[in-house]
Amino acid sequence: MIVFASRTGNVRFIINQLQLPNIEMTKGLKLTEPYLLFTYTDGLGTVPQIVEEFLQDNAEYCKGVIASGNSNFGHHVFCGSADKINAAYQIPIVRKIELRGFTHDYEAIREYYQTVIKGGKTT
Ligand SMILES: Cc1cc2nc3c(=O)[nH]c(=O)nc-3n(C[C@H](O)[C@H](O)[C@H](O)COP(=O)(O)O)c2cc1C
């Protein structure tokens, strides 16, 4: 499963390309199986509020974080959401993606998903 949050449609676009099991983040969502988190990045490299709240209840089963960002905001805050989630919860960063990303980004996500989520590997 990939749980995603998308504000302006870029993450949603990638999710549609991936064709992997997915669910859009909603308030109160509770996951009881391993999943990947896919988020956008908010101002100054921050984690969107909905994602912050979601993680307070759901960090346990999160096996990796993917972030979309825009490098025009600057190197230090590009996909800063992934860095902040990694620092707070020690969740591995799967991929940092520029806007809607490229084919090699999608391939990297699929590979990680197959190994860690479908394969059930926990490290
Ligand atoms: C108000 C605002 C602030 C943003 N701040 C950052 C940022 O600090 N770092 C970054 O990498 N991207 C930043 N972005 C870019 C978005 O994370 C990026 O466009 C992403 O692809 C949006 O995903 P979505 O279309 O699924 O919502 C910002 C976008 C907006 C609208």
| CATH number where 28 lies | 3.40.50.360
Ligand 1, CB within 6 Å, residue ranges: 6-12, 40-45, 68-70, 73, 77-80, 99
Q: Please give the pLDDT value at position 84.
A: 98
Confirm whether 123 is domain-assigned: no
pLDDT by residue (tens digit) across 67-107? Answer: 999 999 999 999 999 999 999 999 999 999 999 999 999 99
Q: Which domain holds residue 60?
A: 2-118
Question: Residue 120: pLDDT above 70?
Answer: no
Confirm whether 30 is domain-assigned: yes
Domain count, the chain: 1
Q: Please give the pLDDT value at position 119.
A: 84
d(CA 53, CA 67): 17
What amino acid occupies position 73?
F
Distance 121 CA to ligand 1 centre (A): 31
**Candidates 14, 38, 66, 68: which one to mutate for ligand 1, based on the most atoms within 8 Å of Cβ?**
68
Confirm whether 110 is domain-assigned: yes
Give the orientation angle of helix 80-89 with respect to helix 49-58, to 10 degrees: 30
Report phi then psi at 74, rounded to 5.
115, 150
First-residue to last-residue Cα distance in the chain: 17
pLDDT by residue (tens digit) across 8-65? Answer: 999 999 999 999 999 999 999 999 999 999 999 999 999 999 999 999 999 999 999 9
**Candidates 41, 79, 85, 98: which one to mutate for ligand 1, based on the most atoms within 8 Å of Cβ?**
41
Question: Residue 121: pLDDT above 90?
Answer: no
Q: Please give the pLDDT value at position 4.
A: 98
